[in-house]
Amino acid sequence: MKRGIYVLPNLFTTANLFGGFYSAIASMKGMYEIAAIAILIAAVLDGLDGRIARITHTTSKFGAEYDSLCDLVTFGVAPGLLVYTWSLSAYGKWGWLAAFLFAVCGALRLARFNVQIGVVDSRVFNGLPIPGGAAAVATAVLLYFYLGGEGRYPSMAVLLGVVALSLFMVSSIKYYSFKDLNFFSRKPFMSFVLIILILVIVVAEPQIMMFTFAFGYSLSGPLWGLGKLVRKWVTDTKTKRTQCQEIIL
């Protein structure tokens, strides 16, 4: 600390924290859409601070620890408060316990990530990343108001969804990290066309597409794991069948 800290990446991390804190204030005032947008903006800033630190060679242990603390507030506490005030408060103690479960599972997810750096393959995340869980909550709120909803939305589906997201975060389900994507290398021409089409659709229907991406990503891990189990079962079945045929022959 006597040598000082790197300013630029930590400014982005602080902006991330500001977005989470502002979201919490907006949730308490009943401004649910603004609270959701603040979380999504903070998610973008959270993705930028690490990249900026790596590009400018200003990574540090202090920055990593500060980032984790800010992420807990922005993507753990703020979404929990948002979903509680928007929906779960109608279910009494079960509502606030579900919101607390989201926050504590987010904290556990961050702690496990910090101790597994360099141990787990960087191409995958071990459990749903906490920004992914927060994005699923925020985009669900935005979709609700986009479809004509007003005020609070007490729904058992939201309660179950929050519990599921919480368990996904502390699970050992593997999620693709997108860290091995290289946008500076040559890609097939149709890949570029596909990206343009996706951007056009996002601009045309941002609420629907953002929810689709966030919800789809939260389910991608379980579906990926299920697909691997099915492929393993098919392979084992074929192997046993081949062995039986060899024994018969």
Q: How confident is the model at residue 79 (pLDDT cuts 50, 70, 90)?
A: very high
Mean pLDDT of 100-111: 95
Banded pLDDT at 249 (limits 50, 70, 90): low
Mean pLDDT of 107-114: 92
Indicate whether 100 pLDDT > 50: yes
At 121 the three-state DSSP class reads coil
**To the nearest 10°, the Cα dihedral for 67, 69, 74, 76?**
130
Tokens 């005030």 belong to: 85
CB of 178 closer than 8 Å to CB of 128: no
Question: Mean pLDDT across the stretch 145-169?
Answer: 93
Residue spans of the domains in the chain: they are 7-220
Q: Has residue 181 got a pLDDT over 80? A: no
pTM for this prediction: 0.87
DSSP result, 6-30: -HHHHHHHHHHHHHHHHHHHHHHTT
At 111, the pLDDT band (50, 70, 90 cuts) reads: very high
Contact 71, 131 (CB under 8 A): yes
Q: Is the pLDDT of residue 177 over 70?
A: yes
7-220 fold: Four Helix Bundle (Hemerythrin (Met), subunit A) (1.20.120)
Q: Which distant-in-sequence residues (6+ apart) come within 8 Å of 210 by Cβ?
A: 40, 135, 139, 142, 202
What's the token pair of residue 11? 């400014």
- 8, 118, 128, 144, 229 from 124: Cα distances, Å: 27, 12, 10, 31, 17
Average model confidence (pLDDT) for the chain?
88
pLDDT score, position 2 = 53
